[in-house]
């Protein structure tokens, strides 16, 4: 299978790029499954039901969130009904929504698991490692399911790297989200799991992690914690993510490569 993960969508620029480019990319790259992280899609903070519908219409099969999943007021009733929008699985048991989903598509079964890191995050989240063990135990790769994708929304590169090594050989892909900068370590680990510490963002890179430069710069220069409102940058967006091909028998990764579309960031 050809599976694409797209990193954090930031603001209108990122949304427009996903809606514009994803439909033709599904055909050109013969994509079987697409996961989009939408944690910053609505003005840089969270996601709305309408944005989710736009992404699904464009070809997303599953949307993941992160630490900003609750920022938009309409998302609680929406996520309670829409199983394809995931919040982190290691939130408390009574939290609305789901942190994982099993999707049956074209005769294949794909399991998507969404986890939130604990290092540097203020939100109360249970241990992502023990939750991964618990939730993956009944869906063994190559037996019950054909592919397993893990979106680990975390701040610390060490925690993300540890998760990749911990799940190596048990899942098809472990990909990091949240920090908005694509890391240069996309590879297939020894056990056969595709890995990248952070997929990067889908947004305007002439910015500070997707936001118009003035606000963040003034905050750093003045040391005033809340210096004005952060606004997403509005320039042309680059889609960043991780593209993986799986082995049809084992479900492990045959290959993977970072995506920067329509232009490479180094160009």
- Alpha-carbon dihedral sign for residues 38, 137, 167, 245: negative
94 strand-pairing partners: none
Q: What does the buried/exposed string (b/e) look like for 97-121 if buried means 16 or more CB atoms within 10 Å of the residue's CB?
A: bbbbbebeeeebebbbbbbbbbeeb
Q: What does the buried/exposed string (b/e) look like for 75-87 if buried means 16 or more CB atoms within 10 Å of the residue's CB?
A: beebbeebebbbb
- Does the active-site annotation cover 124? no
Helices (H), 168-212: none
DSSP assigned state of 238: B
Digit-coded pLDDT (tens) for 230-244 = 899 999 999 999 999
* Cα–Cα distance, 173 to 40 (Å, whole number): 22
pLDDT reported for residue 125 = 77
* Cα–Cα distance, 202 to 20 (Å, whole number): 12
Q: What residues have CB less than 8 Å from 148, skipping those under 6 apart?
A: 110, 111, 112, 113, 136, 139, 141, 170, 171, 172, 173, 251
Question: Residue 52, CB half-sphere, CA atoms under 13 Å: how many?
Answer: 21
Quote the CATH superfamily of domain 2-261: Metallo-dependent phosphatases (3.60.21.10)
Contact 157, 197 (CB under 8 A): yes
Low-confidence ranges of the chain (pLDDT < 50): none
Question: Residue 22, CB half-sphere, CA atoms under 13 Å: how many?
Answer: 29
Digit-coded pLDDT (tens) for 4-48 = 999 999 999 999 999 999 999 999 999 999 999 999 999 999 999
Terminus-to-terminus CA distance in the chain, angstroms?
29
pLDDT reported for residue 227 = 60
* Cα–Cα distance, 29 to 52 (Å, whole number): 22
* Cα–Cα distance, 25 to 32 (Å, whole number): 11
pLDDT reported for residue 228 = 66
Q: Where are the domains of the chain?
A: 2-261
User: Residue 258, by phi and psi: left (phi above 0), alpha (psi -120 to 50) or beta?
Assistant: beta
pLDDT reported for residue 267 = 63
Neighbours of 130 (CB within 10 A): 10
């Amino acid at each position: 299978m050809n599976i694409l993960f797209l990193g954090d969508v930031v603001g209108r620029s990122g949304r427009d790029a996903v809606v514009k480019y994803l439909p033709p990319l599904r055909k050109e790259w013969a994509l079987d499954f697409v996961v989009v992280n939408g944690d910053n899609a609505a003005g840089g903070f969270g996601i709305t039901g309408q944005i989710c519908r736009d992404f699904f219409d464009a070809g997303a099969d599953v949307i993941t969130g992160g630490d900003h999943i609750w920022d938009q007021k309409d998302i609680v009733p929406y996520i309670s009904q829409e199983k394809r929008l995931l919040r982190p699985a290691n939130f408390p048991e009574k939290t609305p929504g789901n942190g994982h989903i099993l999707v049956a598509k074209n005769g294949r079964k794909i399991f998507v698991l969404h986890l939130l890191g604990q290092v540097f995050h203020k939100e109360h989240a249970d241990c992502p490692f023990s939750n991964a063990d618990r939730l993956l135990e009944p869906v063994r790769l190559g037996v019950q399911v054909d592919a397993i994708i893990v979106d680990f929304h975390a701040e610390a590169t060490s925690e993300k790297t540890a998760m990749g090594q911990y799940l190596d050989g048990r899942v098809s892909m472990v990909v990091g989200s949240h920090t908005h900068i694509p890391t240069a370590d996309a590879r297939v680990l020894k056990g056969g799991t595709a890995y990248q510490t952070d997929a990067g963002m889908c947004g305007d890179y002439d910015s500070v992690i997707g936001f118009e430069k003035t606000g963040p710069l003034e905050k750093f220069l003045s040391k005033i914690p809340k210096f004005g409102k952060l606004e997403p940058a509005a320039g042309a967006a680059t889609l960043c993510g991780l593209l993986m091909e799986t082995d049809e028998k084992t479900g492990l990764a045959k290959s993977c490569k970072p995506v920067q579309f329509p232009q490479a960031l180094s160009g």
